Amino acid sequence: MRDDATRKMQFLYALRSKGVTDKRVLSAMETIDRGPFIRGIFSERAYEDMPLPIACGQTISQPSVVGLMTQALHISPRDKVLEVGTGSGYQAAILSKLARRVYTIDRHSRLVREARDIFDDMGLTNITAITGDGSFGLSDQAPFDRIIVTAAAEDPPGTLMEQLKVGGIMVVPVGQSDAVQHLIVVRKTPEGFEYDELRQVRFVPLLEGLGKDG
């Protein structure tokens, strides 16, 4: 137990030292254990602030980036959030502690199935995980208060921007997949869109179509 408590304290300290200071976000990240989202030989490194490989050639983002992206969304308890790129499910689980409803979509059916199993085990009942082409968003549930994209687009995707409510916020990595990417915060105002840059990042590219997996 002492080792677990120490590990959690170190985990939270690392988040704060990288700029994650929002109390609700820190509380959510303290509540959601990253361990179950990482399998195999990398599971022992679940509490380190580093990205790790998962199935289908994807990665789970480093916790500080998850925290910073979540913090930038300024989620309220009544918000409906869309996540494009379920991956391991870790980001969606964090969002579920902050928002009223989370919709998460991924092109790899295997990742969606595995994430659903973890959500069920954790009792996270306000997440809907869907297999689909996230580049088109989820028009039947739009508009969304917040949208988070966990794969890099060449530009902020127009389809997703259309599915954002006026007053809403989208966080998306932008840039070529083999070059430096920039984490962009998009705010939708009555007059149009406002953009701010958070930091440099590196994400897998946002691809159209469904992944070839079982």
* CA pair distance 131, 191, nearest whole angstrom: 34
Q: What is the pLDDT of residues 16-60, one digit of tens each?
A: 999 999 999 999 999 999 999 998 888 888 888 888 888 888 888
pLDDT at 213 over 70: no
Q: What is the pLDDT of residues 125-180, one digit of tens each?
A: 999 999 999 989 999 999 999 999 998 888 899 999 999 999 999 999 998 766 68
pLDDT at 214 over 80: no
Residue matched to tokens 């966990």: 150
Closest among 192, 103, 196, 207 to 151, alpha carbons compared: 207
Known active-site residue 43: no
**DSSP bridge pairs for 187:** 169, 194
Point out the catalytic residue in the list 17, 61, 96, 177: 61
Closest among 85, 91, 90, 175 to 132, alpha carbons compared: 85
**CB neighbour class for 40 (10 Å; exposed up to 12, middle 13-18, buried from 19):** exposed
Q: What is the pLDDT of residues 58-70, one digit of tens each?
A: 888 999 999 999 9
DSSP conformation letters of the chain? -HHHHHHHHHHHHHHHHTT---HHHHHHHHHS-SGGG--GGGGGGTTSSS-EE-GGG-EEPPHHHHHHHHHHH---TT-EEEEE--TTSHHHHHHHTTSSEEEEEES-HHHHHHHHHHHHHHT-TTEEEEES-GGG--GGG--EEEEEE-SBBSS--HHHHHTEEEEEEEEEEES-TTS-EEEEEEEEETTEEEEEEEEEE---B---S--S--
What tokens appear for 119 in the block? Answer: 């959500």
Dihedral sign of CA atoms 7, 71, 27, 203 in order: negative
CA angle 136, 99, 166 (to 5 degrees): 55
Q: Do the beta carbons of residue 171 and residue 184 sit within 8 Å?
A: yes
Phi, psi of 91 (to 5 degrees): -60, -45
Q: What is the pTM of this model?
A: 0.93
